């Protein structure tokens, strides 16, 4: 199975070495060192992406804090980001790393334990409000309540519950084992934690637009050393602008999220873009109507829920297909649907 970003351990001379500063080594155990800033001295590079072939080898400067071309890409120009920081793909190492776009030079760093890879990262004055399906989950209260009762309510609509949903998703993801998995719209990380703990994937990225969901996610993982040390990153990003190079990801999971996205078609087009050929997308959502919807409820659900991105089975298949995915399959239980599709 192809792993999108297999590691190359040689130390390399940076193409952009004039951009970066020298700085002291970090202790890998400290979780509270500030994220790195970039400036201008020569530095050793380490590479983890096929797109990094322009960098030249420099065997003289092996160092614990290395530059590497990362899995992450700039949300503006989709060029791979250069990473400077301690090695490893886990929450503390990424928190202590600085990232910079090779092309547009925009810098990205971590805030409150998550790496902010939104287009507006670093903006000082500009604030943008998204539709309610996105803004609702940015609330600290909703984020706090999400795994403390809110999510459990989904069972009444036919969701089988996190353990069973995880098992079902893992079945679909078999062709992606050992690869990179992005848990898009991860919320407080209910499934990201399970994916990371399963050790099925080389890297797991827990990604959401909500700052407060990501803070909750960190609060859950910091009490479990096995997850803190796992190959897991917390990233803030918009599903319509995913910070990954095209074809760099093996699996995308989006639990209970489709109905929350501002534009499901833009989101699935983005998911298609980042998946490698043969990569798998698995999503769950609430159906507007299904075979089990009582006749008396149908007109109401058809009319009202249409305005809230709740779809029928046929519409979801059509959406995936029109965004270029193939091999669509689904499982339905009351209003719950888990669907899967593949990048050709």
Ligand X SMILES: C[S@@+](CC[C@H](N)C(=O)[O-])C[C@H]1O[C@@H](n2cnc3c(N)ncnc32)[C@H](O)[C@@H]1O
- Positions touching ligand X (CB under 6 A) are 130, 133-134, 137, 151, 185-187, 190-191, 208-210, 213, 238-239, 255-257, 260-262
CB of 302 to ligand X, least distance (A): 22
Comparison of 212 and 245: residue with beta carbon closer to ligand X: 212
Comparison of 95 and 195: residue with beta carbon closer to ligand X: 195
Comparison of 5 and 210: residue with beta carbon closer to ligand X: 210
Comparison of 21 and 133: residue with beta carbon closer to ligand X: 133
How many Å apart are CA 205 and CA 89, to the nearest integer?
10
Pairing of strands 249-254, 180-184: parallel
Q: What are phi and psi of 238, to 5 degrees?
A: -95, 135
Three-state secondary structure of 218-248: HHHHCCCHHHHCCCEEEEECECCECCECCCC
Q: Do 125 and 117 contact (CB within 8 A), yes or no?
A: no
CB of 151 to ligand X, least distance (A): 5
Other CB atoms within 10 Å distance of the CB of residue 163: 9
Comparison of 5 and 134: residue with beta carbon closer to ligand X: 134
Comparison of 15 and 119: residue with beta carbon closer to ligand X: 119
The two tokens of residue 115 are 């790496």
CB of 219 to ligand X, least distance (A): 15
DSSP 311: B
Comparison of 91 and 252: residue with beta carbon closer to ligand X: 252
CB of 234 to ligand X, least distance (A): 12
CB of 307 to ligand X, least distance (A): 16
How many angstroms separate the Cα of 214 from the Cα of each of 9, 142, 144, 189, 204? 31, 12, 11, 8, 14
CB of 244 to ligand X, least distance (A): 13
CB of 209 to ligand X, least distance (A): 4
Q: Do 11 and 66 contact (CB within 8 A), yes or no?
A: yes
Beta bridge partners of 249: 275
The gap between the terminal CA atoms of the chain, to the nearest Å, is: 15
Comparison of 36 and 117: residue with beta carbon closer to ligand X: 117
Write down the residue that tokens 């979780």 correspond to.
Answer: 31
CB of 164 to ligand X, least distance (A): 12
How many angstroms separate the Cα of 6 from the Cα of each of 68, 78, 106, 251, 274? 12, 19, 25, 15, 16
């Amino acid at each position: 199975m192809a792993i999108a970003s297999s590691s190359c351990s040689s130390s390399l001379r940076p193409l952009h070495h004039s951009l970066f500063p020298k700085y002291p080594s970090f202790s890998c155990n400290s979780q509270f060192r500030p994220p790195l800033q970039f400036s201008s001295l020569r530095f050793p590079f380490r590479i983890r992406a096929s797109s990094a072939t322009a960098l030249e080898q420099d065997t003289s400067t092996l160092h614990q804090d290395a530059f590497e071309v990362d899995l992450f890409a700039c949300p503006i120009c989709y060029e791979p980001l250069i990473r400077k920081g301690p090695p490893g793909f886990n929450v503390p190492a990424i928190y202590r790393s600085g990232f910079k776009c090779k092309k547009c030079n925009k810098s990205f760093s971590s805030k409150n334990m998550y790496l902010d890879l939104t287009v507006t990262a670093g903006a000082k004055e500009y604030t943008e409000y998204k539709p309610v399906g996105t803004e609702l989950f940015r609330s600290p209260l909703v984020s706090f309540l999400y795994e403390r009762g809110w999510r459990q309510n989904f069972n009444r609509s036919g969701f089988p519950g996190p353990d069973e949903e995880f098992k079902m998703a893992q079945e679909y993801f078999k062709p992606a084992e050992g690869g990179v998995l992005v848990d898009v719209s991860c919320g407080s990380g209910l499934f990201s934690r399970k994916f990371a703990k399963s050790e099925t994937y080389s890297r797991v990225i827990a990604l959401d637009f909500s700052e407060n969901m990501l803070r909750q996610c960190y609060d859950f993982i910091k009490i479990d050393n096995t997850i803190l040390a796992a190959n897991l990153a917390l990233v803030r990003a918009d599903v319509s602008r995913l910070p990954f190079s095209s074809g760099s990801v093996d699996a995308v999971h989006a639990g209970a999220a489709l109905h929350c996205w501002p534009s499901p078609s833009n989101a699935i087009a983005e998911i298609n873009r980042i998946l490698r050929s043969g990569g798998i997308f698995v999503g769950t959502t609430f159906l507007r109507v299904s075979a089990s919807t009582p006749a008396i409820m149908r007109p109401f659900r058809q009319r009202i829920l249409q305005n809230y991105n709740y779809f029928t089975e046929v519409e979801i298949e059509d959406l995936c297909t029109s965004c270029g995915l193939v091999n669509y399959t689904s499982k339905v239980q009351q209003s719950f649907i888990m669907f899967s599709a593949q990048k050709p």
